[in-house]
Amino acid sequence: MNAFLKELVTPGSIVQLATLASLIASVNFGVVGTYVVARRITYIAAAIAHSVLAGIGFAVFAQAHFGWEWCVPVLGAIVAAILSALTIGYVSLYLREREDTIISVVWAVGMSVGLLFLYYSPGFNGNLESFLVGSILYIAPADLWIMAALGIVVVVLCLFFYNPLLAVCFDEEFARLRGVNVPLYFMLLLVLTSLSVVLLVQLAGIILAIALIVLPAAAGLHVTSKIWHAMCVATVLAMIQSTLGIAWSYTVEIPAGPAIILLSAASYLGVFGWKWWQGLQRS
């Protein structure tokens, strides 16, 4: 732990950059994650998370074949995530396709296309495992600025459109009667979720990303029924869990993503168990 604390206060160290990235992303976990859990669209978030591999794979492919050095994996991930969110939203809203069907299609096609792009990228030296389970300890300063910009955009939009997003999450019929454009705000929620997913993939990888957007928010909603209170609780929990997870992974040399997820799951189970015990005491 002493080694971790020493690295944490060392300017520009991998531990400091990773911790700053996790704290930035934690705000998104708390804010967007609460909307996602309240609206019950966690499987949509999971499909978006897996589909970003298509964008990452294309970015690597474009760099190898066309020399597009500007087409970095995080840019490909953003484009793929937004396209996946808009596709799922449009099909489920306007084409009357079963939502679970389009989610499965986007999930499977995104992963398959991404793997094919990576397979046909000559000289690809990247570690696929870093995309799948995260590589937060190897984040670059440029990635930190991108994460900060994405985080600010997402949080500002979530708070600016707080009331209509809240209405869409809890009572669509009432929202329609009040003149709220439900399809528009549902699509906005999916886009915000997609941008948050990109931050999650940076932190915990494609496979584990969905846990980070769900577990802190679910714990927050168990603690309080007020959405903005739940957002605050989820944000604080995510910050604590991610920081401790990075410390754990650095100390015992294990991947940071799984360490953070295990701590998040333990916190959620603890909150759930406490609420269950409180219910037994009152009955």
Q: Per-residue pLDDT tens for 240-250?
A: 998 998 888 88
Over residues 159-206, the pLDDT tens digits come to 899 989 998 888 888 888 888 899 999 999 999 999 888 877 777 777
Taking the C-alpha atoms of residue 208 and residue 1, their distance in angstroms, rounded to an integer, is: 25
DSSP letter at 71 equals: -
Over residues 42-91, the pLDDT tens digits come to 888 889 988 999 998 999 899 888 888 888 888 898 999 999 999 999 98
Query: Going by C-beta distance under 8 Å and a sequence separation of 6 or more, which residues neighbour residue 42?
Result: 36, 210, 213, 214
Domain that holds residue 47: 2-282
Cβ proximity of 158 and 168 under 8 Å: no
- CATH number assigned to the domain comprising residue 201: 1.10.3470.10
Taking the C-alpha atoms of residue 168 and residue 154, their distance in angstroms, rounded to an integer, is: 17
- What is the DSSP secondary-structure string of 221-255? HHH-SSHHHHHHHHHHHHHHHHHHHHHHHHHHT--
Total structural domains within the chain? 1
pTM: 0.86
The closest of 14, 17, 36, 18 to 212, measured between CA atoms, is 36
